[in-house]
Amino acid sequence: MSIREDFLKQLPNDFEKIIQTTLISGFYVSQLVAQTMVSKGTKGKMLFISSVQAEMPIAQSAAYGCAKAGLNHLVRTISVELSHHRINVNAIQPGWIDTPGEYEAFKEQTIQKEASKLPWGRLGSADEIAQAACFLVSDKSDYITGSILTVDGGFRYKDFRTKIHQES
């Protein structure tokens, strides 16, 4: 959940709602799942969805960025605590993904213009996030825990490219 608003105008209740929805509920749900897994002796996987905004200071997203950064720390911490139960805990950190919510926040023309500036020349797709999720919950990722997998097509580094790369 995100409510985009200038830091100086963000209502405390909105800030708290974003933290509650993204971070605190993630804690409670994962705790219940982990307690059930441990009590049954079940090995397995827990997967969170974070965001590149956990690392990137994006205007009008202070609460969301804080919540996702906290979620990443939660993933790493509980991965340490649950490792001896053989429960893998990881997260996917998507970049700018083509979802209906983006079209509620931005005009289509703005999305198309900004997407063309990204390294892949487009927004990511939900299918690309799903493929990463399938990998992280599969047997192929049994030796991965406490990791935050970024799936962003280079979104985090879009502004670091040289002029030559931007023109090609």
**DSSP states of 50-80:** --GGGTS--TT-HHHHHHHHHHHHHHHHHHH
Matching residue, tokens 């409510």 = 3
Matching residue, tokens 């979802």 = 99
Going by C-alpha positions, the residue among 150, 143, 75 that lies closest to residue 119 is 150
Enzyme catalytic residues: 64
